[in-house]
Chains A and B, each alone.
Chain A
Amino acid sequence: MKAFQYVTAQSVDSARDWLGPRASYLAGGNDLLARMKEYLADPDLLVNVKSIPGLADIEPGDGHWTLGAQVTIARIEQDPQIRKLFPALHEAAAEVGSLQIRNVATLGGNLAQHSRCWYYRHRDVVCLKKKGPTCFARLGENKFHSLFTGNPCISTVVSNLSIALAALGAVVLVQQGKQTVRWSIADLYAKAWDNPIAHHSLAHGDLILKVEIPVEPGRSAYGQISEKGAFDWALVSCAAAAVFDDGRVKQARIVLGAVAPVPYQVEAANDLLKGKKIDEPLAARAADRLLAGAEPLEHNGYKIPMARALIQRTLLKLMG
């Protein structure tokens, strides 16, 4: 990696002040340092955002819980209350990398991490996402790539936490210039749907401060299927959350991961569940709605039956 300067920001304002055009925020470093070692990123200044007061707090609440962007994934995984109130988030956190990674990696860094497409991650390959002329995965090796996308890049969102947080209806507080904006998880990734260069909607200098998770009187679940039993990225992941009224779904959110550049949601699938009891046939129909219009490539067609099974499994898990 290239030499750089380093500074620790002690406030949100100063973090943003330090962030010139050739600077990067540094959280746990698991993503950024790896990209710097591959010369995919070569910032002149790293602005450590881990010491900003308040951003490493877990704040319980009756209406919602607030997690600071600098809370580590291990803390999310190990918090017994989070496990009880937001099982989807607990399960998604427990599947992130290994304990060594979770002990250091942060919520904010997990949400803002870059694509893991193997062409993108190769220092000598200049694909569309690096402002090159073409997507190499489309005609090349695409077994880990998208079934759905709104742009020519077919890399997928890889953040486990984003999938669970989308199902839980979380709100992300982002410092943008002088103001703090409140984004849904869909907002946080919207740009990656349309724009091949984007990994998320954050502009340079935008700082994720906190994530608010509403406490809903329902249940949630997360599951993923990977090639290895542990310490592996999801081939497909699924999170779901529902509020019930007398055993029937009042409101539900189902989200698929690793099949699109964004946590993938289909309103019609959520609507289908309303007013009904979840059983196997209903879960299968919800899966049909979610997977309608999937465009498999040469090597990733297996994701369709895999996603179908995972959607059913996750929805049935909500029934306990």
Chain B
Amino acid sequence: MMDSKSSGNDLLSLTRRNFLKTLGTTAVGTAATQVESVAAELQKLNAETIVGPAPIPIVLQVNGQAISIEVEPRVTLLDALRNHVHLTGAKEVCDRGTCGACTVLLDGQPIYACMMLALEAQGHAITTVEGLAHEGQLNPVQQAFVECDAMMCGYCTPGFLLSITALLKRRPHPDADEVKHACAGNLCRCGTHPRIIQAALKASGVSVTSQTEVIRYADLA
């Protein structure tokens, strides 16, 4: 833990006008009814106010639901999702932005949840693997993963599902190289890549068999 007493004082002496400015703007005087716009308002009000190091209230928009939690500024989006929102689909492996197990979508774009502070994810729509199925129906990518048997231990699977779901939204009919490019930031330790690429193609409507060549072994030789 930092020595919050001494540094807190230093900070206060540093800040002055903006701090005072924000103090003037007290109550959340907003007609907004939706929680997300309240969150956006709150974020604006908080703009030039120092928060932390103690936990602060934040609102995350996860899989279409606004969720209020209290976390320290140092808590990453990944830890917030797993330990505070209790959605453990996003996995922690490297915690350094190098493996993709923690991939979630932020406003539809894949990001590493381990490399983003939870409080910075406020005001954005977050999608985790738990948000892909609708009313008990797997999404086409999930369904294709099952049909192609595209996983072994499954630890990398949520990340791949999100990267591929985002890709198909951008490009409904990618080729194998485009799938590889979109998944370059997701690693599978078990080596299921050929099946993952097949599953992505299948989800996009290509009819694949176990013979569909997605890795040109001749190129590797």
Residues of A that sit less than 8 Å from B by CB:
1-10, 14, 17-18, 20, 22, 26, 28-30, 33-34, 36-37, 42, 44-46, 48, 50-51, 74, 97-101, 103-104, 230-231
Contact = CB atoms under 8 A, between A and B. Distances in A.
A7 B49 CA distance: 6
A31 B96 CA distance: 9
Contacts of A10: 18, 47-48
Contacts of B14: 17-18, 20
Contact of A22 (B10, B112, B181): B10
Given A29-B116, A98-B184, A101-B97, A4 B2 contact: yes
Contacts, number: 123
Given A7-B48, A10-B47, A46-B73, 9 more contacts: A3-B52, A9-B48, A30-B97, A34-B96, A37-B96, A99-B110, A100-B111, A104-B112, A104-B115
A1 B78 CA distance: 14
Contacts of B110: 99-100, 103
25 contacts: A2-B1, A2-B2, A3-B1, A3-B73, A5-B52, A5-B53, A6-B73, A7-B49, A7-B50, A7-B51, A8-B48, A10-B18, A10-B48, A20-B11, A29-B120, A33-B117, A34-B97, A44-B7, A48-B120, A51-B47, A99-B184, A100-B110, A101-B112, A103-B109, A230-B181
B51 A98 contact: no
A3 B72 contact: yes
A211 to B, nearest CB: 23
B183 to A, nearest CB: 9
7 cross-chain pairs, A with B, having the tightest CB-CB distances, nearest first: A98-B185, A3-B53, A230-B184, A6-B73, A44-B7, A231-B184, A100-B185
Contact of A3 (B2, B117, B186): B2
A42 B180 CA distance: 37
B186 to A, nearest CB: 8
B12 to A, nearest CB: 11
B72 to A, nearest CB: 6
Interface of B: 1-2, 4, 7-8, 10-11, 14-16, 18, 43, 46-53, 72-74, 76, 95-97, 100, 103, 106, 109-112, 115-117, 119-120, 163, 180-182, 184-186
Given A29-B116, A99-B182, A100-B97, A5 B11 contact: yes
A44 B14 CA distance: 13
Nearest to A42: B2
A14 B185 contact: no
B106 A98 contact: no
Contact of A17 (B18, B46, B50, B163): B18
Contact of A18 (B15, B51, B119, B120): B15
B163 A99 contact: yes
B184 A5 contact: no
A100 B119 contact: no
Contact of B50 (A30, A45, A100): A45
A159 B55 CA distance: 35
Counting chain B CB atoms within 10 Å of each CB, which of A2, A18, A74 scores highest? A18
Contacts of A42: 2
Contacts of A97: 97, 185
Contact of A44 (B2, B15, B116): B2
Given A17-B15, A44-B2, A8 B185 contact: no
Given A5-B52, A46-B73, A34 B115 contact: yes
A30 B48 contact: no
A230 B182 contact: no
A44 B106 contact: no
A141 B47 CA distance: 45
B116 to A, nearest CB: 6
B117 A29 contact: yes
